């Protein structure tokens, strides 16, 4: 990394750590007045939609929102992929819309994502979903993305929005909020003094809360009846060579490095530890745009990363680079709840 990118990465990681620290840092305390102003703006925006002064748009098919009230990763995209699989097994033809965070901005016309698209054009998470055989459209305006998807795929009968809980322009049939059980809601403050996009009370309004539970995590109670989700790891896959796999045991030993540009890099590093892999850890901000210099570790025997990071490293990764695919396991009762809501009265 260059000195400037190293500083930016270190700053982002440090602020994120402050949000989840039991003791408020001086920076967090200093930012609290801004958080209060941010909260007022959030409340005003919500009130405008509730009053009808701003109108939500209803698409011709049911919409399932998968989002969170915190910034950073909580397992939304793996959950979206799991819901697509589960609904398809039940006879639906789901599609996915996303903003595509971290992508280059052009005129922001909706883009139908292909498995071989450039992540800089479509975003890393939408590309992952497309490679998982999901039909995906991206645009800043999820309504426009949904319309473009339905125009191209008229058989689509339900849309899942990846990270759209606060995108009130899109009317929704079901709202699902995902929370990392280990980190919960951090210090409970709104941005920028804390990780919250909306007040914690927002969880009382959604149809379902899904908690991401990892090994050894002690879940903090968020809402009665919350559904649990786990992420199961598979064999490692060589970046750029999907047919080449290796078990975790192949990376136990010296000179193994790990990079993670996700919402909570510590979760990936802890997962490696649970597999017996003791790697030199290199955290990056969420949606970090990797360069060859970011993974050029002299003497490294292997460089391990998440699948989300791997799609951005394919152009320069060498044979030492591997990613760890994960698959969300969700409660069947959650799928049943979603099916009842999107089928409506006929499901009774």
Please check whether residues 269 and 160 belong to one and the same domain: no
pTM for this one? 0.92
Per-residue pLDDT of the chain (348 residues; tens, 9 = 90+): 445 555 445 556 678 889 999 899 999 999 999 999 999 999 999 999 999 999 999 999 999 999 999 998 789 999 999 999 999 999 999 999 999 988 987 778 999 999 999 999 999 999 999 999 999 999 999 999 999 999 999 999 999 999 999 999 999 999 999 999 988 999 999 999 999 999 999 999 999 999 999 865 555 556 667 999 999 999 999 999 999 999 999 999 999 999 999 988 999 999 999 999 999 999 999 999 999 999 999 999 999 999 999 999 999 999 999 999 999 999 999 999 999 999 986 654
193 shares a domain with 111: yes
- Whether residue 108 sits in one domain with residue 194: yes
Q: Are residues 95 and 127 in the same domain?
A: yes
Separation CA 188–CA 221 (nearest Å):
14
- Residues spanned by the domain of 116: 63-230+329-347
Would 87 be classed as within a structural domain?
A: yes
Q: Answer yes or no: do 87 and 71 share one domain.
A: yes
With respect to residue 11, please indicate whether it lies within any of the assigned structural domains: no
Nearest-angstrom CA–CA distance, 194 and 35? 8
Quick check: is 155 in a domain?
Answer: yes
In a 13 Å sphere around the CA of 150, the CA atoms on its Cβ side amount to 16
Location of structure tokens 């941010």: 38
Please check whether residues 140 and 74 belong to one and the same domain.
Answer: yes
Looking at the structure, tell me whether residues 132 and 208 fall in a common domain.
Answer: yes
106 with 167, same domain: the answer is yes
Q: What is the greatest pairwise CA distance in the chain?
A: 62
Cβ-contact 311, 124 below 8 angstroms? yes
Task: Determine, yes or no, domain membership for 296.
Answer: yes
Backbone angles phi, psi at 281, to 5 degrees: -95, 135
Residues 151 and 255 in one domain: no
**Is residue 221 domain-resident?**
yes
3-class DSSP assignment, residue 243: strand
Flag whether 76 is in a domain.
Answer: yes
Is residue 294 domain-shared with residue 307, that is, in the same domain? yes
- Residue 45, token pair as written in the block: 């925006």
Cβ 111 vs Cβ 137: under 8 Å: yes
DSSP bridge pairs for 177:
67, 209
CB atoms within 10 A of CB 66: 26
| Whether residues 72 and 174 fall in one domain | yes
Torsion angles phi and psi, residue 178, rounded to 5:
-105, 135
Buried b (16+ CB within 10 A) or exposed e, 243-265: eeeeebeebeeeebbbbbbbbbb
Look up the CATH number of the domain holding residue 83. Answer: 3.40.50.300
Please tell me whether residues 79 and 216 are part of one structural domain. yes
| CB-based contact 146:159 (threshold 8 Å) | yes
Flag whether 53 is in a domain: no
- CA pair distance 154, 138, nearest whole angstrom: 17
Q: Is 184 contained in some domain?
A: yes
Give the N- to C-terminal CA distance of the chain in Å, as an integer: 57
Structural domains counted in the chain: 2
């Amino acid at each position: 990394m260059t000195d400037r990118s190293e500083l930016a990465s270190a700053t982002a990681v440090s602020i994120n750590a402050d949000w989840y620290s039991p003791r408020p840092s001086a920076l967090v305390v200093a930012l609290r007045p801004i958080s209060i102003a941010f909260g007022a703006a959030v409340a005003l925006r919500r009130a405008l939609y509730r009053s009808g002064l701003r109108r939500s748009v209803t698409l011709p098919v049911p919409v399932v929102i998968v989002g969170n009230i915190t910034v950073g990763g909580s397992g939304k995209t793996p959950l979206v992929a799991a819901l697509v699989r589960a609904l398809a097994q039940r006879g639906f033809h789901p599609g996915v819309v996303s903003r595509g965070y971290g992508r280059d901005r052009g005129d922001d016309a909706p883009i139908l994502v292909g498995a071989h698209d450039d992540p800089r054009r479509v975003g890393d998470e939408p590309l992952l979903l497309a490679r998982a055989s999901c039909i995906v459209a991206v645009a800043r305006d999820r309504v426009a993305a949904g319309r473009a998807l339905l125009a191209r795929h008229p058989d689509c009968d339900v849309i899942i929005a990846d990270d759209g809980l606060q995108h009130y322009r899109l009317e929704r049939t079901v709202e699902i909020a995902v929370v990392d059980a280990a980190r919960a809601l951090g210090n409970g403050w709104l941005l920028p003094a804390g990780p919250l996009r909306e007040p914690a009370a927002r969880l009382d309004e959604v149809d379902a809360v899904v908690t991401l539970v990892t090994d050894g995590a002690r879940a903090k109670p968020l809402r009665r009846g919350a559904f649990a989700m786990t992420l199961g790891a598979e064999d490692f896959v060589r970046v750029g060579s999907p047919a080449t796999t290796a078990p975790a045991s192949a990376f136990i030993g010296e000179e193994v490095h790990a990079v993670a540009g996700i919402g909570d890099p510590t979760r990936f590093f802890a997962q490696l530890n649970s597999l017996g892999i003791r790697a030199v850890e290199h955290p990056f901000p969420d949606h970090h745009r990797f360069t060859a210099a970011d993974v050029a570790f002299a003497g490294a025997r292997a460089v391990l990363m998440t699948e989300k990071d791997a799609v951005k490293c394919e152009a320069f990764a060498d044979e030492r680079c591997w990613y760890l695919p994960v698959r969300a396991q969700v409660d069947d009762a959650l799928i049943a709840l979603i099916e009842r809501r999107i089928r409506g009265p006929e499901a009774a």
